[in-house]
Amino acid sequence: MIYQKDSFICLETKELSYIFEILPSGHLEHVYFGTKTKSKLTDLKVKITAGAGSQVLYSDDHPIPLDLLPLEYSFIGKGDYRLMPFEAKMPNGSFVCDFKYKSHTIIDDSYDYNLPHALNADKTIIVTLYDEVNNVEVDLIYSTFFETNTITRKLIIRNMNENTLVIRKVMSMMIDVPEMDYDLITFDGGWIKETHKHIRPLSYGTYSIESTTGASSNRHNPGFILAKKDTNEDYGIAIGINLVYSGNHYSAVHVSNHGMMRVMTGINPHCFEWPLEKNAFFETPEAVLTYSAQGLNKLSHNMHDFINGHIVPKNNQKELRPIVLNNWEAFMFDFNQRKIINLARKAKKLGVEMFVLDDGWFSNRNDDTKGLGDYDVNRKKLPSGLDKLAKKINRMKMGFGLWFEPEMVNQDSKLFTMHPEFAIKVPYLEPSKGRNQLVLDLCNDKVVRYIKENLFNTIDCANISYIKWDMNRHISDMYSNKLSNQGMFFHKYILGLYDILKDLKTRYPHILLETCSSGGNRFDLGMLTFGPQVWASDNTDPMTRLKIQEGLSYLYPLSTISCHVSEAPHAQTLRKTPLETRFNVASFGVLGYELDVRVLKPYERKAVKEQIAFYKKYRDIFQYGKFYRFNRKGNDFQFQVSKDDTHIIGRYQTIVDASPNFEKLYLKNVNEANTYSVYSKPNVLNIDRFGHLIKHAVKVPFKHDGLVMRIIGKYKTLDNAQTKLLVDGAALKNGVPLKQQFMGTYYNTETRLLGDYGSELYVAEKIEVS
Ligand code: GLA
């Protein structure tokens, strides 16, 4: 709901209010963002009663100190000296702007917009500001998403002046919060260590989160949170912000000399310059805001519901995602048709639903130095071609998925030989390579058309029901001879990318699009408007994945996080983790497998089959349930996901303590009066884990590492303690004691044996008791 009350504009969602006031001077004062309020609106304002010395007052008619006011947006040159969301060389050649309120309109639904944005808003308000001297307009656009407690903001700038206006910085939104006792929570990292949560206390000055790689990047996710110092997962105030954009982003929190926080997010001004001729306009990406007074879990629920309901493509909303087997980690580039078919057959037997053929299927691509750009099938590897392969996979009753990296080219390719000018480079300068590849110039319409044609022709060759869209290098040498101003490069590139993705989605709505960029290098809301899931990281080691998935879970729902079970020892960490733990982590997301299932030991095959059956049974909960984090102590994690009074809990132990403490099982979101049957998913205990200790567990006359035990080990597992409880919600909230963990003496089947990297899944289901 959006309405005007006197000079105030009130935006409301189910639980939140967002209020600003149109001041007599024409400036917009930010008044309130928080739990829904019906207060007297003037009482919610910051009370400036005497000014603060050494201040500049706006005008004789309106002697207001803009520097002290909480504002909705601010411009350079009229007395506000805080960090600015906007910088432009105005048509009159000055940097000074004087935008004032002109009009507003309230409409139903979302605003029609070229950039990807959230759909099906309840209401939208367009507030037009006008700079009379320059004849330039700015629209501040706000939409409310009632049920999900989110508000989006974006901006359009229109130049009506004969002279050109040159934008250097234009943030999608700005908000002034008149307090500073907040922590800034960001999600940062790099390749194989994406979205680790970092917490910084704020003090005076500016804090920024940005990417300059051409993508939203694995260095700093565009999403971030401001949380009061005493906020935790279930208690306290927090503001969540994200941006529907896949290119260079910039967000900043500036704490003023009077302890007011100015928060902004938008396109990164780094190398950005956008000229606007007469009657041209510029649209910013859309920013997303939410607020929680009930801790970070509630903040996540708002964001999750918003993404599942308004960001991901309509036909993917609520859709149960298939369990894939991806051949990359099994074979890398070294495969042939026989190997692929064999792998697919084995995968099918385990219950896999989609077979994904990753990199290496085209051209002469036998390593990462060649072939990118040429999507003609490699007949040496796949003599029957894609169509026949897809048919074979389909006959096994599995979908067929295919990997592409459409934005890139290797110099050793037919495409590059024919069109070297398609790759970006600065004239007379040798371009730098990343993963041996160059970036195609998506600022050039001809290249965009070529990519579409090339891609669509390949897709039309076979029955493809899933695409993995990869992008494996950062952009360098940004230059396009199609641009009059190279300051447009980064944003134009993203517009070119969105153009291709939009056509792909329109032409093949049935294809499930998973995006990827060396793992989570482009995990953002922009990509999610085209493909509903993202390969979260090339890192599938469950212990470090926990941090990645935890980080993502703050702002992205489990239905968007693609997670695979892979081999151990793990390729990147060399850590040997139990198969069960790999599943127990990967199941909190969209589950897949990425290992050579042809060579699984019999006990592993049985375990994987059971895992897949278990996941299928609870898939709807794992992908769309309400997800909860527990306040983390050190490196041990607990997650919960719930739907219709069925709850699944994942508990993860990184390093076991000698003689560990007794533990309780806690649940959230259960009804105290209801009775729950709680059981633990049986955990397979392979005898390998015991080494020479096996002689204490089972009396065997053989050497633990001898041939006999090695053979037995392929089949035989030991029983691990299982939990079965009948308890009510009150007890679960209070914590129900678990069977003790192994404390150094006596193996028996009543004692939980977790060890290092151990984990457990518990299911609590409401039952009727008479
Ligand atoms: C990237 C992806 C991987 C895999 C390889 C193939 O690294 O993140 O999952 O697809 O490319 O080259």
Cα of 470 vs centre of ligand 1, distance in Å, is 7
Looking at residues 620-632, what average pLDDT do you find? 97
Tell which one of 518, 527, 539, 562 to mutate to probe ligand 1, the residue whose CB is within 8 A of the most ligand atoms: 518
Residue nearest (by alpha carbon) to ligand 1 atom 8: 518
Residue 58 — very low, low, confident or very high, per pLDDT cuts 50/70/90?
A: very high
Percent pLDDT > 70 in the chain is 100
Q: What is the tally of helices (H) and strands (E) in the chain?
A: 15, 40
Q: Each residue of 531-588: pLDDT tens digit? A: 999 999 999 999 999 999 999 999 999 999 999 999 999 999 999 999 999 999 999 9
Give me the catalytic one of 67, 358, 538, 728: 538
Q: Which residues on adjacent β-strands are paired with residue 170? A: 86
* Secondary structure of residue 546 in the 3-state scheme: helix
Tell which one of 328, 331, 523, 594 to mutate to probe ligand 1, the residue whose CB is within 8 A of the most ligand atoms: 328
Q: Which residues have a Cβ under 8 Å from the Cβ of 12 and sit 6 or more positions away? A: 1, 2, 18, 36, 144, 146
Q: Is 538 a catalytic residue?
A: yes
Q: Which residues have a Cβ under 8 Å from the Cβ of 408 and sit 6 or more positions away? A: 372, 373, 437, 438, 439, 440, 471, 472, 473
pLDDT score at 65:
96
Alpha-carbon span 357 to 537, nearest angstrom = 18
Looking at residues 505-516, what average pLDDT do you find? 98
Alpha-carbon span 575 to 518, nearest angstrom = 21
Atom of ligand 1 nearest to the CA of 538: 8
> Measuring from each residue's beta carbon to the nearest atom of ligand 1, which residues come in under 6 Å?
328, 358-359, 403, 470, 472, 516, 518-519, 535, 538
Cα of 640 vs centre of ligand 1, distance in Å, is 30
Residue nearest (by alpha carbon) to ligand 1 atom 11: 518
Q: Which amino acid is at 222?
A: P
For the chain, the 3-state helix, strand and coil shares in percent, each to the nearest 5, are 25, 30, 45
Could you tell me if residue 185 is left (phi over 0), alpha (psi between -120 and 50 degrees) or otherwise beta? beta
Tell which one of 357, 363, 472, 539 to mutate to probe ligand 1, the residue whose CB is within 8 A of the most ligand atoms: 472
Cα of 405 vs centre of ligand 1, distance in Å, is 9
Q: Which residues on adjacent β-strands are paired with residue 283? A: 156
Q: Each residue of 701-756: pLDDT tens digit? A: 778 888 888 888 888 888 889 999 999 999 999 999 999 999 988 888 899 999 99
Of 423-437, 470-484, 629-643, give the lowest mean pLDDT range: 629-643
Give me the catalytic one of 470, 524, 541, 688: 470
Residue nearest (by alpha carbon) to ligand 1 atom 6: 359
DSSP one-letter code for 307 = I
* Secondary structure of residue 355 in the 3-state scheme: strand
Q: Which residues have a Cβ under 8 Å from the Cβ of 715 and sit 6 or more positions away? A: 601, 602, 603
Q: Each residue of 106-126: pLDDT tens digit? A: 999 999 999 999 999 999 999
pLDDT score at 2:
98
* Predicted TM-score (pTM) of this structure: 0.97
Q: Is 477 a catalytic residue?
A: no
Q: Each residue of 299-343: pLDDT tens digit? A: 999 999 999 999 999 999 999 999 999 999 999 999 999 999 999
- Dmax over Cα atoms in the chain, in whole Å? 98
Cα of 328 vs centre of ligand 1, distance in Å, is 7
Cα of 160 vs centre of ligand 1, distance in Å, is 47
Cα of 191 vs centre of ligand 1, distance in Å, is 11
